Amino acid sequence: MIAVLLPLFGLVAANGVKAQSIVSWVEADPLTGLAIGGMDPVSYFTEDAPLPGKPDYEVVWMGAPWLFANKANRDVFEKQPEIYAPQYGGHGAMSMARGFVSDADPLIYAVYKQRLYLFYSAANREAFLLAPDAAALRGQEHWQVLSKSLSTR
């Protein structure tokens, strides 16, 4: 329960800087059309592993359908979706830090400073976690440029 409430109050990171959300565009699965492969974005923050969403609990946000494991998670997301949505539109975080766009696997992730980052591979996640502040900052800089060239279908 605390993991759900802390992001709502704008938790300040350990270094005193509030983590900023970088969500201006969302990648949807080309086969299903679902954001983050149909996984419940709130569950990344509240469970040991992300939960698959159910079609009964769907929200369309930023042009993509998002699924949730239960009504409570859906309701929390609707209030502040930018807190729970993955950074860089759901693209690979370490790839973005390196200056290019890649797909990401919703099961390879990290929650860092109350933000969700997805990765193409476990090796990319490990590389990100070696210097997460620097990687997130580089990713943010590249996202500002690269997101403008992405197709919104």
pLDDT, tens digit, 9 for 90 and up, residues 77-132: 999 999 999 999 999 999 999 999 999 999 999 999 999 999 999 999 999 999 99
Domain count, the chain: 2
For 100, phi and psi rounded to 5 degrees? -145, 160
pLDDT, tens digit, 9 for 90 and up, residues 30-87: 677 799 999 999 999 999 999 999 999 999 998 899 999 999 999 999 999 999 999 9
Tell me which of 69, 85, 101 is where a domain ends: 85
Mean pLDDT across the chain: 84
Instruction: Look up residue 60 and give its two tokens.
Output: 């369309």
Tell whether 27 and 64 lie within a shared domain.
yes
pLDDT of residue 150: 72
Tell whether 140 and 92 lie within a shared domain.
yes
Flag whether 153 is in a domain: no
Flag whether 106 is in a domain: yes
Domain that holds residue 52: 23-85
Flag whether 59 is in a domain: yes
pLDDT, tens digit, 9 for 90 and up, residues 132-152: 999 999 999 999 998 888 755
Which regions of the chain does DSSP assign to beta strands (E)? 54-61, 64-68, 105-112, 115-119
